[in-house]
Amino acid sequence: MKNIHINIENIKNRILSSAKGKAVTLVAVTKTFPVEDMEEALSCGVSDIAESKIQEALPKLDVLCKKNLLENITKHFIGHLQSNKAKKAVLNFDLIQSLDSINLAKDINRHAKDINKIQKCLIELKVSEEATKTGASVQQTEEIYKYCLENCQNISICGIMTIAPFFDNKEQVRPYFKLANQVFSDIKQKIKNENFKILSMGMSDDFEIAIEEGSNMVRIGSAIFGERNYDK
């Protein structure tokens, strides 16, 4: 039996303890979990939900929409976004956290312009050398931001997202979060854009260390909903 309500309260308390007065947004990552779990999380006061695959997300969002459960809910897309899915991402998500190239920025901007929308995005920064991880390098992150600022009137870059490598010893993840925070701070200092304020880093296994290292948005899935079954 899932204890989603209890898990959410536990996560919120751990966030408060780590944040030491700083505001941190909890994003419930609902990928691979059924819409019923999403409904329960929303009933517990969760106001931010995230999905990573367009084809999985849309049917679930449709159910929630028909039940009028998405009012005042922020929908995040956190998976690797292919250009051919950019249009659906723009149509259905409030914040795209995985902008990782200028070409993708062009696609997002074009589709957002078509519907007269300012699409909020985070640039996904790759902090590790893992081949399985996507994202932009430090230099590319600055280039993407500069490009969007000068050429994409329908994109608002709101910050940076990163995924740290997994370690059994959680302390080993700290330098990766420090790096992301440094990149975030450097860009913020250079640009001085009040919209650039989100540092999204930290997941179920490492979110407390991420918060200690500057994160103000954490993406929590399994610690709320239980272990994922990717074979379903």
**What pLDDT is attached to residue 192?**
79
- Pick from 40-44, 154-158, 188-192, 196-200: least confident: 188-192
* SS3 assignment, position 177: helix
**What pLDDT is attached to residue 68?**
97
Structure-model confidence comparison of residues 94 and 227, the more confident one: 94
- Residue 89 in this model has a pLDDT that exceeds 70: yes
- Residue 112 in this model has a pLDDT that exceeds 70: yes
- Residue 194 in this model has a pLDDT that exceeds 80: yes
pTM: 0.95
Q: Decide: 183 and 141 in contact? Cβ < 8 Å.
A: yes
**What pLDDT is attached to residue 232?**
46
The mean pLDDT of 11-27, rounded to a whole number, is 96
**What pLDDT is attached to residue 230?**
59
Q: Which domains does the chain have, with CATH numbers?
A: 4-225 (3.20.20.10)
- Residue 228 in this model has a pLDDT that exceeds 80: no
- Pick from 65-79, 105-119, 125-139, 144-158: least confident: 125-139
Handedness of CA 140, 122, 87, 134 (dihedral sign): positive
The mean pLDDT of 163-185, rounded to a whole number, is 94
Q: What is the mean pLDDT of the chain?
A: 94
**Which of 163, 188, 186 has its CA nearest to residue 176?**
163
The mean pLDDT of 198-215, rounded to a whole number, is 97
